[in-house]
Amino acid sequence: MYRLAPIAVLSALLLCACGVQSTRPDARPATPATALEADVPAANDNLNAVAWIQTSTERDLIYLQAYRNAAGHLDRAIADPRWEALPAGERKSPVADPARTAIIVDIDETVLDNGPYQARLVIDGTTYDKATWAEWCREARAEAVPGALEFTRLAASKGVTVFYLSNRAHELNDVTLANLESRGFPLAAGEQVFLGLGLEVPGCVPKNHDKGCRRELVSRNYRVLMQFGDQLGDFVNVASNTPGDRRQIVAPYLDWVGERWFVLPNPTYGSWEPALFGNDWSLPPAEQRRAKRDALDTGR
The string of pLDDT tens digits covering residues 85-138 is 999 889 998 888 999 999 999 999 999 999 999 999 999 999 999 999 999 999
pLDDT in tens, 214-265: 999 999 999 999 999 999 999 999 989 999 999 999 999 999 999 999 999 9
CA 42 – CA 124 distance, rounded (Å): 10
* CB 253, CB 236: distance < 8 Å: yes
Q: Residue 19: is its pLDDT beyond 90? A: no
Confidence of residue 42 (pLDDT cuts 50, 70, 90): confident
What's the mean pLDDT in 156-162? 98
In whole angstroms, what is the distance from residue 164 CA to residue 162 CA? 7
**Average pLDDT score over the chain:** 89
Task: Say what the pTM is.
Answer: 0.86
The rounded distance, in Å, linking the Cα atoms of 179 and 176 is 5
The span from the CA of 175 to the CA of 111, in Å, is 15
What pLDDT sits at residue 18?
Answer: 42
Amino acid at 165: L
CB 118 within 8 A of CB 50: yes
Q: For 34-43, 60-69, 91-100, which range has the lowest pLDDT when averaged over its residues?
A: 34-43
The partner residues of 169 in beta bridges, in order of sequence, read 197
pLDDT at 27 over 50: no
Pairwise CA distance, residues 252 & 91, whole Å? 16
- Tell the CATH superfamily of the 45-266 domain: HAD superfamily/HAD-like (3.40.50.1000)
